Structure formats: C-alpha cells, structure tokens
Amino acid sequence: MRGLPRELPPTAGLPLRLADLRPSRADLAAILAGQLQTPPLQLTCSGTAALLLALRVLHARQPGRSVVVVPAYTCPLVAIAVHQAGLQLRLCDLRPGHFDMDPQALAAACGEDTLAVLPTHLAGRVADVGTALAVAARSEAFVIEDAAQALGARSGGTSVGLRGDVGFFSLAAGKGLSIFEGGLLVSRDASLREALREAAEQQVPHRRAWEARRSVELLGLAALYRPRGLAFAYGRPLRRALRRGDPVAAVGDAFPAGIPLHRVGRWRQAVGANAAGRLPGFLATLERQAKARLARLRAIAGVEVFDDAPDTQGSWPCLLLQLPDERCRDRVLAQLWTRGLGVSRLFIHALPDYAYLADRVPPAPVPNARAFAQRTLTIGNSPWLDAATFERIATVIERAVS
C-alpha cells in the first residue's frame, strides 16, 4: 500500500464515515439551520437549483424586470441558471485585484430593468454585500447572496446569506459538508421563504433515476474521498485533461446546458445529517490551519493572500492567492498542478471567455475580471496537507516570484 499514489483535494470537504451511511429520519436542513443560527433552511438538489428557484420566485414578484447582474468572474453555473430562468445576464467587472464587484461598474450595470444583483462569497472569503445592497436599493432590485463556496462563513457575527433578500449554499463534493450534490436556500423574509417553499413544491418533481444516480455517486464519494482514492477519482482525470490542453475540463468548469431539478431522497439527507455533527469542529480545524499558514505566504514578496475582511469570519476550503502576473502564476502551476498537492485554479476564465457559454454570456470589456482569472491560484486546505508538503508548495511559489 505504501507505494500507491496519493492526491490531495483542491478544496477541503468533510470526509464521510461508514457510520454516516446508516438510515435516519434526522432533518438535515434543520440541523444546519441550528448550527448556522439561521432561519429555516430549504434543501435543494444543488446550489445551482437553489439559485434557479430563487430567480424564478423573485421574477414572479417583479415580472417586468429581467436583468441579473453578476460578477464577471464566477462559476459558469451562474450563467446557466440565469439563462434557464429565462432571464438576461449582465456582467459587472471586478475591483482591481479583487473578487468583489467594482462599485462604479455595479452602479452603471443596474437600472430599471434589473431584477437582482449577485454578490459572491468566493473561496470562503466574505464578499462586500453592503455595496451591492446600496446599489440594488437605488434600482429597487433584489440581492441574492451566492454563498455556494462559503458554508459556515459569517459577517458581523451572522451567517452569510442573510443580508440579501435570498442566499444559497452548496453541498456539492468538496464544499465542506456534502451529499455529493445538494444545496440550501435561506431568507430572513418569512414571505419569501414561503414563496420559495411553494415554488419547490410545484416545480421540483420526484425523479427516481436522478436520485438513484446521486446516491451511487455519494457512495463513491464516501469510498474515494481519501488521498489514495482521489488519485484515481480526481488526479487521473485532471492530468488527462491537462495533457490534451483542456484546463476547463481539468478544474471541472464544463457543465451541461440544463440544470436538473429533483427532490433529495431521504437516504442522502440522512447521510448529511449523520455527518453534520462533525462539521463545526471540521470548519474550526480548517480555520486554524489556514490562519497558521497565511503568514508564510504573506512573507513572499509579490504574493497577495486573501484573508478575512474586517468584521467577517470566512470559511477555509482553500487558500486563494494572487501572483504578480500570469507568467509567474503559470510557472508555479507547471511545477505543482499535476503533483497531487491540491494546488489548482478556481475558475479558468472570466465568464465571457468560456466558448461554450457564448449563447448565454454577452461579450463585455471586463479587464479586471480577466486579470484576476490570469493571476490567481488556490491551495487546498485539507487537513491531509501536512506542514512539510505545505512548505514544499510555499518554496516553489517563493522561487517562482523571485
């Protein structure tokens, strides 16, 4: 067994145990609402499905509006959800050197046709929701917090997702707690929560084939989400994609055109509920590990490490770094991306640069988003990343920038 390959994950997910697979009547959404101290959470079959339902409900409240303003650097699934909802995507460029939307660009993007604005909590870091709220209020638009990558993050002592009108989280593989695919909807507004519940009741069918598929995939996640199993399930496909020059496939940025909607079965809910008791301790471990390693990375001249903004406490699935330029970033990736160390990229492109999204994403001049895509990389924050391996990664980065 000693000679078998190992692969560290690019983001830190809570490993499942055999005992988690036992049936249970526990309510996963209620357990997580208690942990996060939120109003009741609504379980969905994916984070993207949660966004799709939110868009449909908000559009029913303001049917004369059809524009959804999103950061120009975000998950391609956001564009797919907006398109499937029958709405129009409008891109907002980022602040220079940051993942937040630029305030001036956001003000210019919002108007009487704007239905919603989507500030995005990226890689566990808490986004500037306050600016989005202020700009959206001037246009009487809604704010949807994209917290897909920030389960457990807090702002002002309160869970993210609650400052906007609606928020959503992801329970996909590698997103903290996972039922392979799943999502959560939240709103502080009781009438919106009821509208979201009714929409799910009316629009989301029982689809046994999809639930059977997700259950098999969850069993695979339980078996293979370990360093040796990931070498087969994640490492091999990654290296094959990079050998054929397809970084979009390597990071999993290529998605189908449609978002499946189906109800989450009782067994997958039980698996998540059984594992959820370990989630607070797991998130605390990730935070301690990340905070202990930030100083080493900050000491490297030319490297910016994204940390918590004032009065926020993010989650830490990975460490998000920005290097001086694209060539420097690529020197690091050339040495580390295929070595099984959990070093990767978040999203390959700004949204207008995905060829397969050309029919859903309008062309737009978004230089800051493109620069962010070209200069950033991530280091997985899994507890399996030991101190010696982390130092190896830091040394490669240090030499690349110097």
User: What is the reported pTM?
Assistant: 0.96
User: Residue 4's pLDDT is what?
Assistant: 66
- Angle between the N-to-C axes of helices 279-298 and 387-401, in degrees from 0 to 180, rounded to the nearest 10: 40
In DSSP terms, 68 is beta-bridged to 89, 116
How many Cα atoms within 13 Å fall on the side-chain side of residue 203? Answer: 20
Count how many residues are written for the chain.
402
Of residues 337, 318, 317, the one with CA closest to residue 393: 337
**pLDDT < 70 stretches in the chain:** 1-4
pLDDT of residue 1: 41
Neighbours of 356 (CB within 10 A): 15
Residue 5 is predicted with a pLDDT of 86
**3-state SS string over the chain?**
CCCCCCCCCCCCECCCCHHHHCCCCCCHHHHHHHHHCCCCCEEECCHHHHHHHHHHHHHHHCCCCCEEEEECCCCHHHHHHHHHCCCEEEEECECCCCCCECHHHHHHHCCCCEEEECCECCCCCCCCHHHHHHHHHHHCCEEEEECCCCCCCEECCEECCCCCCEEEEECCCCCECCCCCCEEEECCCHHHHHHHHHHHHHHCCCCHHHHHHHHHHHHHHHHHCCHHHHHHHHHHHHHHHHHCCCHHHHHCCCCCCCCCCCCCCHHHHHHHHHHHCCHHHHHHHHHHHHHHHHHHHHCCCCCEECCCCCCEECCCCEEEEECCCHHHHHHHHHHHCCCCCCEECCCCCCHHHCHHHCCCCCCCCCHHHHHHHHHEEEEECCCCCCHHHHHHHHHHHHHHHC
238, HSE (Cβ side, Cα atoms, 13 Å): 22
